[in-house]
């Protein structure tokens, strides 16, 4: 497994790693057990030069660090090529260089001859080997080049092999090849060359992972990719899919077996460093990868988990989730309630009423998949028939101009066990002011609520065709520093919907006592 998140991954739109970011990711990749970590191109920017300067002082336990660059320039001896010298200056045990496979690039991009291109490849590989480097040769546009001229493509790979390359990697640089093409060309190349073959694919037509697996079936044994599929255009081959496919589907050895359970963890870690929201629909590691919604599906999973799951979610560090919606059946409610800590079974008399109420609320626009706090309160009230810990008896929100700006003010009146609190607070907006006023009123009775803060606030217009009279759904995420939970409110009045979600947020925290 050859990871190029720090180089090819950083070329993706919206991805920008600092030197510290790259070092942290490299350390985590090493601990995870990938074999090679491509740190960057020391000839392209000062950041990568600084990364290699700092990385050489670190000791990697599992991975070998690679510097990336190109073959020598046309008409320049390899000893005098500044870019090649910088590859040596990086002082990495591995150097990866790319060269041209496709005659279109040789003639129209490099503007050189086919023979000079072969010499550029051979000279650079030989020079790096003479300087003690483990050399990976990336044949850029391997599959497009082969389809254009098979003999010349093979000649470029032979040039690298004969000069001493340790790995020749076939690259689907444009990401437009099909698995059948990748498999055929890889198998043909496997029969022609003795060197270890690698595969480097892009995801431009959604086949990056499929093409990598096709190449492995055809004889490749070195896979290049990135965590979460970061990369140019639509991205690179996603290692968080390839790694479990190799280990659990192909039954072949790659990263240490114990690392597979940390797959979701490393996926989320890299997203966090990149400041990218984790993709909930990512295969294997996404939040919905093992989420079940349809009533018949959930009923089957309740009886035999693998009836609708290709593996146990825990194998890759993920969890099974049961979703509750208007598609839910009794099994959804039962399993979700048990997940939330309630003791229910099929004979619980309130179960039918809970299911009916959820379907009614979903029809009105409520959504409980991301609002488990509100769902838990609904179930709790149906089961315990207890009074709520507090009631909002009234509220008022207003806005006034002050100078060049404006200030929002909210008044909230709450009742707790016969006692009343009436508070006023200001905020940056109506919801912020309402949140502050509600919290100030309740803290007098429930001091633990002082630790509760909002971490996310989302608004969804449910029936846009009715214009400004449309109903609004508000989803709020809250935390007390130890646990996070979501709550929901729906109304034709966005302030009212927000208050519903805020009240549920506070009530849920109190219910957890």
Domain count, the chain: 4
Query: Looking up tokens 């009105």, which residue turns up?
Result: 364
437 and 453 housed in the same domain: no
Domain assignment present for 91: yes
Identify the CATH number of the domain in which residue 471 sits.
3.30.160.340
From the number of C-beta atoms within 10 Å of its C-beta (0-12, 13-18, 19+), residue 139 rates as buried
Percent of the chain that is helix, strand, coil (3-state, to 5)? 45, 20, 35
Under DSSP, is residue 227 helix (H, G, I), strand (E, B) or coil? helix
Q: Give the pairing of strands 2-3 and 222-225.
A: parallel
Q: What is the pLDDT of residues 100-111, one digit of tens each?
A: 999 999 999 999
262 and 296 housed in the same domain: no
Q: At what angle do helices 494-511 and 430-443 cross, to 10 degrees?
A: 30
Under DSSP, is residue 382 helix (H, G, I), strand (E, B) or coil? helix
Structural domain boundaries, residue 350:
291-364
The CA distance from 122 to 148, in Å, is 22
Return the number of other C-beta atoms located less than 10 Å from residue 411's C-beta. 17
Domain assignment present for 428: yes
The CA distance from 328 to 332, in Å, is 6
Tell me how long the chain is.
Answer: 513
Q: Which residues pair with 456 in a beta bridge?
A: 477
Give residue 427's pLDDT: 87
The CA distance from 127 to 131, in Å, is 6
Q: At what angle do helices 114-130 and 150-162 cross, to 10 degrees?
A: 20
The CA distance from 335 to 345, in Å, is 9
113 and 256 housed in the same domain: yes
Under DSSP, is residue 315 helix (H, G, I), strand (E, B) or coil? helix
455 and 401 housed in the same domain: no
Q: Which of 433, 445, 427 is nearest to 395 (CA)?
A: 433
Domain assignment present for 503: yes
301 and 175 housed in the same domain: no
179 and 320 housed in the same domain: no
Q: With 0.85 as the threshold, say if the pTM is over it.
A: no
Give residue 161's pLDDT: 98
Domain assignment present for 12: no
Domain assignment present for 431: yes
Cα torsion angle, 487, 491, 496, 498, sign? positive
Positions of the chain with pLDDT lower than 70, given as ranges? 294-295, 297-299, 301-302, 322-331, 385-386, 464-469
- CB-based contact 396:411 (threshold 8 Å): yes
Domain assignment present for 4: no
Phi and psi based region of residue 381 (left: phi greater than 0; alpha: psi -120 to 50; beta: remaining): alpha
97 and 236 housed in the same domain: yes
Tokens read off for 414: 């709450």
Domain assignment present for 7: no
> Among 301, 330, 364, where does a domain finish?
364
Exposure pattern of 472-500 as b/e (b: 16+ CB <10 Å)? bbbbbbbbeeeeebbbbbbbeebbebbbb
From the number of C-beta atoms within 10 Å of its C-beta (0-12, 13-18, 19+), residue 5 rates as buried
Give residue 466's pLDDT: 67
341 and 418 housed in the same domain: no
Q: What is the pLDDT of residues 333-381, one digit of tens each?
A: 777 777 777 887 777 888 788 888 878 887 888 878 778 888 888 888 8
> Among 408, 426, 445, where does a domain finish?
445
Domain assignment present for 295: yes
Say which residues have a Cβ less than 8 Å from residue 198's Cβ, sequence separation at least 6.
2, 136, 138, 167, 168, 169, 170, 220, 221, 222, 223, 224
250 and 151 housed in the same domain: yes
Identify the CATH number of the domain in which residue 417 sits.
3.30.160
419 and 470 housed in the same domain: no
Phi and psi based region of residue 228 (left: phi greater than 0; alpha: psi -120 to 50; beta: remaining): left
- CB-based contact 473:497 (threshold 8 Å): yes
- CB-based contact 374:368 (threshold 8 Å): yes
8-state DSSP, 451: G
Tokens read off for 471: 């109903």
Give residue 323's pLDDT: 63
Q: Which residues pair with 292 in a beta bridge?
A: 322
339 and 213 housed in the same domain: no
- CB-based contact 28:262 (threshold 8 Å): no
The CA distance from 389 to 199, in Å, is 61
Say which residues have a Cβ less than 8 Å from residue 176's Cβ, sequence separation at least 6.
144, 204, 205
Please work out, in degrees rounded to the nearest 5, the angle formed at the alpha carbon of residue 223 by the alpha carbons of 245 and 244. Answer: 15
402 and 504 housed in the same domain: no
């Amino acid at each position: 497994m050859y990871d190029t998140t720090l180089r090819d991954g950083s070329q993706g739109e919206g991805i920008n790693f600092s030197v510290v970011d790259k070092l942290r990711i490299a350390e985590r990749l090493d601990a995870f057990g990938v074999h090679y970590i491509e740190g960057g191109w020391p000839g392209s920017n000062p950041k990568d030069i600084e990364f290699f300067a700092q990385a050489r002082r670190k000791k990697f336990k599992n991975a070998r660090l690679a510097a990336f660059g190109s073959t020598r320039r046309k008409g320049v001896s390899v000893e005098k090529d500044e870019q090649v010298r910088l590859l040596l200056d990086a002082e990495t045990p591995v150097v990866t260089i790319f060269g041209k496979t496709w005659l279109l690039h040789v003639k129209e991009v490099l503007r050189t001859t086919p023979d000079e291109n072969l010499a550029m490849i051979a000279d650079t590989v030989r020079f790096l080997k003479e300087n003690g480097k483990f050399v990976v040769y990336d044949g850029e546009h391997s599959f497009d080049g082969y389809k254009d001229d098979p003999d010349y493509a093979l000649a470029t790979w032979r040039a690298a092999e004969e000069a001493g390359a340790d790995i020749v990697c076939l690259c689907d640089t444009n990401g437009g090849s099909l698995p059948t093409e990748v498999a055929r060309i890889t198998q043909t190349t496997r029969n022609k060359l003795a060197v270890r073959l690698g595969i480097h694919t892009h995801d431009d037509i959604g086949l990056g992972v499929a093409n990598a697996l096709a190449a492995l079936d055809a004889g490749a044994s070195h896979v290049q990719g990135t965590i979460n599929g970061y990369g140019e255009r639509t991205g690179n081959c996603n290692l968080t899919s390839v790694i479990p496919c190799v280990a659990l589907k192909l039954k072949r050895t790659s990263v240490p077996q114990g690392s597979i359970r940390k797959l979701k963890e490393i996926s989320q870690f890299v997203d966090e460093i990149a400041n990218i929201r984790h993709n909930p629909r990512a295969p294997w590691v996404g939040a919905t990868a093992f989420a079940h919604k349809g009533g018949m599906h959930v009923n089957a999973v309740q009886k035999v988990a693998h009836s609708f799951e290709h593996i146990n979610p825990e194998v890759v560090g993920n969890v099974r989730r049961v979703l509750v919606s208007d598609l839910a059946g009794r099994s959804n409610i039962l399993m979700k309630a048990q997940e939330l800590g309630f003791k229910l079974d099929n004979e619980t008399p309130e179960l039918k009423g809970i299911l009916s109420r959820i379907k009614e609320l979903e029809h009105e626009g409520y959504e409980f998949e991301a609002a488990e706090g509100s769902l838990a309160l609904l179930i709790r009230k149906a089961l315990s028939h207890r009074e709520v810990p507090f009631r909002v008896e009234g509220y008022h929100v207003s806005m006034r101009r002050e100078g060049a700006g404006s200030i929002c003010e909210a008044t909230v009146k709450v009742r707790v066990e016969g006692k009343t609190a009436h508070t006023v607070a200001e905020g940056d907006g109506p919801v912020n002011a309402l949140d502050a006023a509600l919290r100030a009123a309740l803290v007098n009775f429930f001091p633990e609520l002082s630790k509760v803060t909002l971490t996310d606030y989302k608004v969804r217009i449910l029936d846009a065709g009715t214009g400004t009279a449309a109903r609004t759904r508000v989803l709020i995420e809250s935390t007390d520093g130890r646990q996070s939970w979501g709550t929901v409110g729906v109304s034709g009045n966005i302030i009212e919907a927000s208050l519903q979600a805020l009240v549920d947020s506070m009530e849920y925290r109190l219910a957890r006592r």
